Amino acid sequence: MNSEELNTAFLNAVKSINDHTEPFPADLLLRLYSYYKKATNSQDQPSSSNPLISAFKTNALFQTRNLSSDEAKELYIETVTHYFLYRK
C-alpha cells in the first residue's frame, strides 16, 4: 500500500469509527486513541477531568512511542477492521 492509499484507508477507518453510534469497549477506544495520536503526530497532552482517564491515555500513548506514523495508521486500520468484522 503506497502512502496515498494508506492515508485514504486511514481516513476511511476514522470516519467509520466516528459514524458508529453504539458504544465501544474502553480498551478499544484507548488503542484507537493512541494510534490516532501517533498517526497524526499530535503533540497534545492527554486531558480529562478524571485523572484516572488521563493516566490510561498517557499509558496508551507510551505504548506507541516506538511506532512510526505509518505503522500507527496501519494498526488503526487493522484494529477498526477487526472490530467491525468480529464484534458486530
> What are the extents of the domains in the chain?
3-8+25-86
Q: What is the mean pLDDT of residues 39-67?
A: 87
* pLDDT value of position 27: 93
Note the pLDDT tens digit of each residue in 20-38: 999 999 999 999 999 999 9
Q: What is the mean pLDDT of residues 52-79?
A: 93
Helix, strand, coil % over all residues of the chain, rounded to 5: 70, 0, 30
3-8+25-86 is classed CATH 1.20.80.10: yes
| pLDDT tier, 11 (very low <50, low <70, confident <90, very high otherwise) | very high
Give the count of beta carbons closer than 10 Å to the beta carbon of residue 61.
Answer: 19
* pLDDT value of position 46: 77
* pLDDT value of position 88: 54
